[in-house]
Chains A and B, each alone.
Chain A
Amino acid sequence: GAVVSQHPSRVICKSGTSVKIECRSLDFQATTMFWYRQFPKKSLMLMATSNEGSKATYEQGVEKDKFLINHASLTLSTLTVTSAHPEDSSFYICSATRQGARTDTQYFGPGTRLTVL
């Protein structure tokens, strides 16, 4: 099947530092990757959509300078939380759609738990 990995699975950092989260499609090429954020007992909230080689499209209310997304290759997208603060603590999930496939089929990574002290 289509496998998406995320690294790290868990990260703790100090306030003011930047954290990078990687999302990789392991056995397929992903034309589009999505980044979600999940608060406790809340739904997944789409943050941004990224296409390989182009700028990410951010959802309303998501600070693009705060959450930097890079989709440099067909198998890798990164989310960098810049100058992290405790309110950025959350569960971040990425997903990817397979090149040539319908975009209603998304393959999800296992998520990254970010804790900002």
Chain B
Amino acid sequence: GDSVTQMEGPVTLSEEAFLTINCTYTATGYPSLFWYVQYPGEGLQLLLKATKADDKGSNKGFEATYRKETTSFHLEKGSVQVSDSAVYFCALRLYNFNKFYFGSGTKLNVKP
């Protein structure tokens, strides 16, 4: 079935370190892919998205490229900040279906 798998956390990095959070998916059809971020005490917020193969989503220094050949959508940031500490969720939505599949979330801790 359709699903999303992302790396388990927590991920602990020092400020200005490079971040990668892996996400792979299984889907029938052609999904759109998303990264959501959840800061403590808040709801999930859309961070970035990509709707077709080879698209790159980017926002706030974060990037992710839709790789159909490897069914992946890894999240990257070149230099993390303490304020990036949050839980990150990878998700997919099948074309024309009103339903999201989420990964289990990866907690990121950035130390000063």
Chain A interface residues (CB < 8 Å from chain B): 4, 32, 34, 36, 41-44, 46, 49, 93, 95, 103-111
A-B CB contacts (within 8 Å), total count: 45
Contacts of B105 in A (CB 8 A): 41, 43
Bound complex: CA A111 to CA B41 (Å):
9
Does B74 reach chain A (CB closer than 8 Å)?
A: no
The number of chain B residues with a CB under 8 A from chain A is: 23
Q: Which of B41, B45, B99, B104 makes the CB contact (< 8 A) with A43?
A: B104
Q: Is the CB of B89 within 8 A of A111?
A: no
Q: Is the CB of A105 within 8 A of B46?
A: yes
Contacts of A32 in B (CB 8 A): 98
Interface string of B72-112 (1 = CB under 8 A from A): 00000000000000000100010000111111110000000
Task: Write the nearest CB–CB distance from A1 to chain B, whole angstroms.
Answer: 9
Q: Is the CB of A108 within 8 A of B44?
A: yes
Bound complex: CA A94 to CA B85 (Å):
23
Contacts of A95 in B (CB 8 A): 43-44
Q: Is the CB of A103 within 8 A of B98?
A: yes
Q: Is the CB of B43 within 8 A of A43?
A: no
Contacts of A104 in B (CB 8 A): 32, 34, 49, 93
Which of A34, A104, A111 gathers most chain B CB within 10 Å? A104
- With contacts A42-B104, A44-B89 taken as known, whether A107 is within 8 angstroms of B43 at the C-beta atoms is yes
16 A–B pairs (Cβ distance < 8 Å), ordered by A? A4-B43, A32-B98, A36-B102, A43-B89, A43-B104, A43-B105, A46-B99, A95-B44, A105-B46, A106-B100, A107-B43, A108-B38, A108-B43, A109-B43, A110-B41, A111-B43
Bound complex: CA A42 to CA B5 (Å):
10
Does B48 reach chain A (CB closer than 8 Å)?
A: no
Task: Write the nearest CB–CB distance from B18 to chain A, whole angstroms.
Answer: 25
